[in-house]
Amino acid sequence: MPLYVDALAIIYNKDKLLEGAYTFPSDDWLEFSRMATNLTKYDNSNRMISGGFAAAEGNTQFATEMLNVFMIQNGVTMSDQNGVAVFADPANKAKSEEALSTYKRFVSGSTVSWSASMKLDIASFLEKKLAMFAAPSWRLIDIINYNQEYNLGLNFGVAPLPQLGSLSDTETKYWASYWGQTVSSDSRNSQIAWDFINFISQPEQLRLLDQTIKENGRPIGIIYPRQNMSGEVLSDQRSTELLGPYVQAMSRAVTWSMKDGDIMKDEFRKVLSGQATFEAAQQILNQNE
């Protein structure tokens, strides 16, 4: 039973976008990549000093999640009905490779907006050396806190994750992450434990949780795991501006039966760095069922 849910959204520096004559990140990846390239700055030695969008490299915290996003948006079937990874099977391989190529255009080719020479994406963003990056809402909390504590003067906003232009409104896909409570079927008091989890996941208890963590210093509330409560998150303008894109994403946020998320991240990092193929990653994942 999930108690916390999250998605990915684009966190952006409003001032940097205005410098590039933009007001809001594009919702189409092709136009978004052009924006990111235009927002990237270099010194006289052609060394990147400010990135447009952090992507694909080891200094991008959520690169593996973003690779999943591009694959899923590109129509890749990640696993079959039995939970076996199939993203490198003949029916999916070409789409997976295309998704990888699309994502890596942010660090190579004619639409470069990020470099391995830059600091970690959040550090670059806090230092005003990055215009846009993708992150979940819990990372947004860090930005709010650092901005206030160190008086950084960051003027930032949050936008929905872009989509491939070939997708219709009903085909949009976002990335889901969640933290849940489980009860072992072998537990001596499994029914009592499950009753308790059901109790704390009811609307009244979730509202109390949200109220409590905000009273204890969290700058924004939680994203409720119940879709029928999504409207309650957007109770004021600030919550709407900061959490709205995450709430919007939840009804179309997906993941897949990867068995072990840490192994998936390790293998997809190797794919991103060119140290492994999708076939090798799939084999490792299926060996660890």
CATH code of domain 2-282? 3.40.190.10
pLDDT band at 194 (very low <50, low <70, confident <90, very high): very high
Q: What are residue 207's phi and psi, to 5 degrees? A: -65, -40
Residue 288 clears pLDDT 80, i.e. is over it: no
Q: What are residue 220's phi and psi, to 5 degrees? A: -135, 160
Residue 132 clears pLDDT 60, i.e. is over it: yes
The pLDDT value recorded for residue 236 is 85
pLDDT band at 6 (very low <50, low <70, confident <90, very high): very high
pLDDT band at 289 (very low <50, low <70, confident <90, very high): low
Residue 21 clears pLDDT 70, i.e. is over it: yes
Residue 183 clears pLDDT 70, i.e. is over it: yes
| Domain ranges within the chain, ordered by starting residue | 2-282
pTM (predicted TM-score): 0.96
* CB neighbour list of residue 157: distance below 8 Å, 6 or more residues apart: 11, 12, 14, 24, 241
Residue 164 clears pLDDT 80, i.e. is over it: yes
61-70, 123-132, 180-189, range with the lowest pLDDT: 180-189
The 10 Å CB-count burial string (b at 16+, else e) for 201-229 is beeeebeebbeeeeeeeeebbbbbbeeee
* CB neighbour list of residue 143: distance below 8 Å, 6 or more residues apart: 11, 122, 125, 126, 154, 156
DSSP state of 135: E
Report strand pairing: 9-13 vs 253-254. Answer: unpaired
